[in-house]
Every structure is written in structure tokens, then in C-alpha cells.
Amino acid sequence: MGLTLLKWGFFLLSVGTVFYFGWKKPSVLISLLAGAVALDISITWFPSLGPLGSQLGSLARLFTVGIIGAALWRLWIEPEKRRKLKVILNHFLTRALLIYIAVGAFSFLYSLGRGQTVVEVSRLLTLFLLYLSICLLAERKHALLPFQVVHWVGVALVPLTLYEGLTRHFIWLGYLAEGTIARVNTTFVDPNIFARYLVLGIVANLIIQYYNAETRKRVVYFVSLLGLMGALAITLSRSGELTLAIVLVLILLLIPRKRMIQPIGLMGLIGAGIVALSPTVWQRLLTFRKGFGALDAQREYLWRVSWAMFTDHPIFGVGLGGFQKMFLTHYLSYKTVIPYVEGVSLSHTTLLTIAVELGLIGLAALVWIWWALVRVLRGCTKHRSLAGKDDIDRNRLERYIPGVGYFLWIVTVFISSQAEGRFFEDPMIWISMGMMLCLLVEVGSEKKT
């Protein structure tokens, strides 16, 4: 009884927080959502909510609903928000996202699992509303706040990471500690998703460091950076380490500044030291030498069956959300042909999932989204070479750096999702797209004035 009351108390406090910031400072809710994404464990903190649980059953879901509700209220009372919404809806990135959702909705006509297709389309529409809401509520003065929140939430999880890694006592999903390798997950449902969030925190750290010339602050952030790297090593996530390596190369290409090269160079040296001193990390990394099929039997089986499903339905796919049902009804015979892994029926690779479920049309829609994101980034960078000539150009540079950070967040989630799925389902990409577009839309406003 006491535990139930405690859960209700936490839930009501969370709802009160959403209402307060939704009324007073709705732009702050965006950053709170970025922090709440790290708390998958919050599903155990809330009481049983019945049918509402699917929408309000975790902090991330609650903040998502709060952001959408705050945006609807602002649309009702502020005419300028309605004008801004028209601009957003006509933007090429918004149109690209709508095309992808439309492709998924169209697949209902031929999907083997139509019920799951409806669920997936509903989820995409909810996250699309989140994207629109962020575009409406985000403020340029808070452009760095999501980076601050993600960075410090990641740092706050470092002590818990060390505790779980040293003691093998996990506070949640203790079965992950069983076996010869303990995959630390802290507050996340999966160690690879935790590793993904740590990479997001590392990117945030580097973006924030760009704005800090004070030696004391840079030392604090560099020590924090080392903590995030150490936690990433403890997760033993190969996808996380590969993602970090790719993202660091991209950040050097997009922000070629001395203030970036120094911390990244030191990170590389320390990372090499961690690998050299940790046989377990070294052995995990060695699996990359044998190719993707050698990572583990489960993924090898999934990839082979996924390829068979794609080649059988190359144009339209089997329908959004239809991967598992098609797998279990039409392709179980493959277990007599290739090595079979009991209980495996869900894809963990975003590109394969989209290829199987939506075919070449879905892949083309995904490419269009990436093309639109690159165009948005180019819009933020268009005048960065003129920085320092006048105030407007300096303002554009100020938009460019956060724009790079949010773009790299999307890249991080995409690369990581090739090993653990959860790309469009991750609120971080919708936060990032909304913040990028907010920065670009404000540039457009300045041009008109």
C-alpha cells in the first residue's frame, strides 16, 4: 500500500511539473524530455494507469504529451504561432516526414498485420506532433539547454555505471548481469541504448565546450568527458564505440576548430589506453574483424531472413510493423536451412526493418528525409564564413554550432539503430529535427525583416 501511494505521489508530482512548465515556460519542457529519455526505468515508478498507461506510462511519454498539449494551447491563444505553423508545414523537411508517414499508412492496404500497422502509424503521428510542437515552442535562447541536460544526465549516470560494473548488482533488469559478460544498462531497457545516450552526451559536451573559453570550465567539462567515455567502455557496446568513432570524425569535419581538435585528440589517446588495458573491451572490438555476421548468431539469423523477406517483397515491403508477423508465419521454414536462434523474431537493424516493411519506396522516403536534413544544416551554415563582419553573421554562426550538434545527434541515433533498432521511435531525433528547423526558421525571419 505504501509503495502504491509513493508511486501515485511521484506521478502527480510529474504531472504537476508538466503543467507548470507547460503554462510558464513550455520551451523548457523540450529539455526535460531530453533528460527523461534516459529514464526507461520510470515505467516502474508510476502506478498502474490502465488504458492511459500506453500514453502516460513513463516520464518520456508524459513529457511528450505535455509538449504537444502546450503547443496546442499556444496555437489557440497566439495568432503568431498559427502563422509559424503554416511556415513549418510548408517546409521541405516537414513534407519529407509526412511522405514517410504516408508510405507507412498506405501499407495498411496490403499489410499482413494491419493492427500493428495502425499502431505504428499512430506512433509516428504522435512523434510528428511532437516535432511540430517543438518547432513551435523552442526558443533560440534555449538552443543549448537540451545539450546541457543530456550531458549532465549522462554524467549523473556515471557513478551508477561504475557501481553496476564493479558489483554486478543491477538496479533494474538484473538478468543482464548474468553470464561471463555483464552488460551495464543503469536506467535503460538495453545496454546499447544506454551507450547511445552516452554518445549523445559526449557530442553535447563537445558542443558546450566550444562556447567555453574559461579554463576552469573547460577542465570541468573535460573531466566530465572522461567519465562519459569510461561509462561507454563499461557498457561493452560495440555499436556505441563504433558510433562514437564515426561521430567524432564528422564533428571534426563540420567544426574544424582548435577547440574541437584538442579534446577529441585527448579522447582518442585515452580511449586507446582503455582498450589496451581492458582485455574484455579488446575482445569485444575484435569481433568487427570477422564481419557483421560474426557479431552473434542472433543477428546473423535475422539479417539472412530479412534479406529473404526483402527480395520477396522488394517494392512495397510487407507493411509497416509487419516484420514479426511475416517472420513467424511465412519464414519459419528458414530455420531448417540456416542456423536458427530460438525466440528471435524482431529486427534490430533500422535499414533492414524499413527495407522489409516498406520496400524500396520506404528506403527512398528515408533518403529524402536525410536529404532534407542536410539541406536544413546547409541553411544553418550558409553564412558561417562571414562570421565577425556584423551582428547578423555572428547570429548565424551561433545557430550553426547547435545545428551541427543536433544533426550529429540524429546521426548518432541512426548509426546506433543499425544494431539495436529504435530510430524513428526515439524521441531524440524528433527533438533534434525540431530544434534544427527552429534555428533555420528564425534565420528566415531575420531575412524578411
H-assigned helices in 107-190:
114-137, 145-156, 158-167
Q: Where are the beta strands (DSSP E) in 140-290?
A: none
Residues, the chain: 449
The whole model's pTM is what?
Answer: 0.90
Alpha helix (H) ranges present in 236-296?
238-254, 258-277, 279-286
Q: What is the pLDDT of residue 348?
A: 78
pLDDT at 439: 83
Q: Computed from CA positions of residues 90, 94, 99, 104, in that sequence, does the dihedral angle turn out positive or negative?
A: negative
**And the C-alpha cell for 180?**
561471463
Q: What is the mean pLDDT of each run of 10 residues along the chain (449 residues)?
A: 87 95 94 96 89 82 96 94 93 96 95 90 96 94 94 97 92 85 89 95 93 85 90 87 90 78 73 58 50 53 83 93 84 56 67 94 97 88 43 64 94 92 92 91 43
- Which of 99, 73, 78 lies closest to 365, judged by CA? 99
Show me where the domains of the chain are located: 1-77, 82-142+349-449, 144-290
Residue with cell 511522405: 99
d(CA 262, CA 260): 6
CB < 8 Å & 24+ apart, contacts of 377-380: 377/403, 377/404, 377/407, 377/436, 379/440, 379/443, 380/404, 380/436, 380/439, 380/440, 380/443
Residue 337: DSSP 8-state = T
Question: What does the DSSP 8-state code read for residue 47?
Answer: P
Torsion of CA 18, 91, 414, 234, to 10 degrees: -40
Q: Name the strand (E) or helix (H) holding 415.
A: helix 391-420
